[in-house]
Amino acid sequence: MDIFAAVLLSSSLLFLFFVFSDAADSITQSQFISDSNGTTLISKDQGFALGFFSPGNSTNRYLGIWYNKIPGKTVVWVANRGTPITDSSGVLMVNSSGSLVLLGQNLTVAWSANSTKKARNSILQLLDSGNLVLREEKEGNYLWESFNYPSDTWLAGMKLGWDLRIGLERRLTAWKSPDDPSPGELSWGFELYNYPEIVMKKGSKKFFRSGPWNGNFFSGMPELQATLLYNFTFVSNKSEVYFMFEMIEKSATTRAVLNQSQEQYQRYMWIEEKKEWSMFLNLPKDKCDSYNLCGPFGNCIMGEAPVCQCVEGFKHKSLETWNPEEWYKGCERNKKLSCQDKIGFDKFSGLKMPDTTSSLLNETMSLNECRVRCLNNCTCIAYSNSNTRNGGSGCAMWFEDLIDIRQMAANKEDANSQDIYIRMPASEQAAKNKRKMKVIVIIVVAIAVVFGVLLIPYCICRRKNLRDKMENNIMLDQNIELQNEDLEVPFFSLATIAIATNNFSSDNKLGEGGFGLVYKGTLIDGHEIAVKRLSRSSIQGLNEFKNEVMLIAKLQHRNLVRLLGYCIEGDETMLIYEYMPNRSLDSFIFDETRAKVLGWSIRFNIICGIARGLLYLHEDSRLRIIHRDLKASNVLLDSKMNPKISDFGMARHFGGDQTEGNTERVVGTYGYMAPEYAIDGLFSVKSDVFSFGILLLEILSGKKNRGFIRPSQSLNLVAHAWNLWKECRPLELLDTCLEDCCIILEFVRCLRISFLCLQQHHEDRPNMSSVVMMLHSESSLPEPKEPACFIGKRLSLSSKNQSPSTNEITVTLLEAQ
């Protein structure tokens, strides 16, 4: 390089340093990107950056694109994958002919964009999508774009597949290693059969196969279909074959990566509050996803032993020498088929469609036309609809052994699942129909017997179910009205909650109960939430949901869990609460290891906090509220171990001077119910006081009231505690982990208060204002009478209440079940 050229390049690089101090998103033919100056292109929305980097422990330099706002430099595209630059001499520029080139040592070309179109005045720009484009300055037409030449990462808006007009294939290829972005063995792209499908290859060998597109998803990848977060597009015509996803919620950040070391396609979402990528999909997902594991006509079924089974009407090829390692040989027909045989077709549902290498596709045929065409072609082995939407359309036919089949259990009963019809000899079908008839006769007889036995209780249950259904239908009709009411809490969209919970991932599940499932979520602003999701089979219903929203929206107290909002959209009904990192009280006091965390001072603070929360509900809130389901699992603990009462689905409120009510539907949890409520359905503020007494006893002893039995004396927890009290041995009740830290006088005072709360007659129990005062006072307390539920005088429940209530197991926010 002569002196003039060196001076020119140095001047240009110096100019670039000033030009890009404001992080531009594009360069013209008079500008450069230089590794020595550390200059980059930044997309307009600041989401992506283009520049030079060294991967892992490597010292080689590459030109790449990465997420600009995400720490750790997650690279999504590399230009010079196979031609690294060994020093910091790299320069990216648009040359005088309008081509994009990367110069390395001694200004040699390390990489160039193979654009077939040229323009004198062209601009290189990094788009907000992460796509690097070379475009005409005025018209804006793309001359070249990085999305047409993917590396190992698939981004939203990027087509995966073929442009048949110019013979361009867009295929993912994995990095060789975290230190080496050059193409590895693993690739992911479309195979252009008559019936296209995505194939993962290891070298030249198939490793995993998606199955063909059925109008909704690829038959072997039901996970890749439209959700609340994504829209998927599949196009197959004479010009193009491609698959693409787009984000519905633009604020979410997601990517798909081909991982060489783990031999997987992996999909990730960025979780901002954790500052990490969370993987929520990986393929192959199990053993049955391994390509052609079970051989011809073998059906892989996870959960079976062995996983490989023959399709019905077929048998293993080597029965005499069979062993589990020989499944690759596959299966053969029970009776060989010839063109002269009378034949028919057996229907199989919920299968991943066979390998489409030897298949034909006609999208204009109906299923009946497809059957006739296959029937009249002796070499046709099977046929199917190619599109399952709107009742099905199109025709796909297979002409060789059916391989790489698996049972997709999730789709077996799905109306949109793809059925396949396999050619069978008529004699085999007759034998099969005879076996089916025997099974049907046996089943019909069994059903008749069972039906006769269950008819009477069915009629009783039917009446109740019809009543409940009518109530739920009324509530469904009121959903729109409920959304329009002034509930004093925000409405959250379903898309927002889906993103926050990673589309209700099982990894985010915190617990479940009568209401349904509870998930942890994180809003886009980083705020952690707990989402209580009503299930269709929920013990609780929409009445309880509305009750909880209406009540808790009006409550504000430091010892009550805070409702942040609600969601009613489509079939989904959800409550959104503040997240309690320490979950529920029962997960501590009933666990020998975790109980040690709750020393006496913490437990006493929890007792006082619960009492203050109940006092607020009974006397200080705008409504007089009776909780009716106070128990350890419905007390949540925040980061500082402060208690918060939760779950108001069963709560009732009164106005004016009303203090009690009655009901024919007793709800709550046995073991915590006051006797007058359990027997006669009478509830009042004093029934909550009784539940508080039980809870107080559990906190002091570290033992559950329900399930505790003293075998030698046939005593439950209350009776056992009362005996120790009468015998002046109350300290024997103390949780063993409190022996070294307990303040004895406070313990004895709390135990006495517990017995006062557990009096059999509700008029003998103190109200919560008295309880709060007694907890903080040093004055003498009344002498308690014998408590209810003493085993020697056990209360007998009336027949109407002997079975568990409809809410025997109520939902607990954040309780890990």
Amino acid present at 451: F
Amino acid present at 35: D
Local structure of 160: helix, strand or coil: strand
Structure tokens at 346: 């057996």
Q: CA–CA distance from 98 to each of 101, 118, 122, 166, 171 (Å)?
A: 9, 6, 6, 21, 26
From the list 658, 663, 660, the residue with the least C-alpha distance to 681 is 663
For residue 270, list its beta bridge partners: 277
CB atoms within 10 A of CB 726: 10
Q: How many residues belong to the chain?
A: 817
Q: Which alpha helices (H) appear in 681-811, and where do they start and end?
A: 685-701, 717-726, 744-757, 768-776
Q: CA–CA distance from 653 to each of 61, 548, 649 (Å)?
A: 69, 11, 12
DSSP strand pairing (405-406 vs 298-300): parallel
Rounded to 5°, angle at Cα 520 from 516 and 526: 145
For residue 437, list its beta bridge partners: none
Distance of CA 686 to the CA centre of its chain: 41
Checking 639-643 for CB contacts under 8 A at 24+ apart, the result is 639/581, 639/582, 641/582, 641/598, 641/602, 641/605, 641/606, 642/558, 642/559, 642/605, 642/606, 642/609, 643/559, 643/585, 643/605, 643/606, 643/609, 643/610, 643/613
Rounded to whole angstroms, the Cα distance separating 267 from 281 reads: 5
Please write down the HEC assignment for all residues of 320-355: CCCCHHHHHHCEEECCCCCCCCCEEEEEECCECCCC
Q: CA–CA distance from 730 to each of 201, 721, 747 (Å)?
A: 71, 7, 9
Peptide bond into 222 cis (omega under 30): no
Q: Which residue has the tokens 């030249």?
A: 204
Helix and strand numbers (H, E) in the chain are 13, 45
From the list 253, 257, 248, the residue with the least C-alpha distance to 69 is 253
Which residue numbers are catalytic? 629
Cβ-contact 584, 633 below 8 angstroms: yes
From the list 99, 103, 75, the residue with the least C-alpha distance to 13 is 103
Cβ-contact 43, 26 below 8 angstroms: no
Rounded to whole angstroms, the Cα distance separating 272 from 525 reads: 8
Cα-flanking dihedrals φ and ψ of residue 134, to 5°? -105, 120
Residues 6+ apart with CB under 8 A from 17: 37, 39
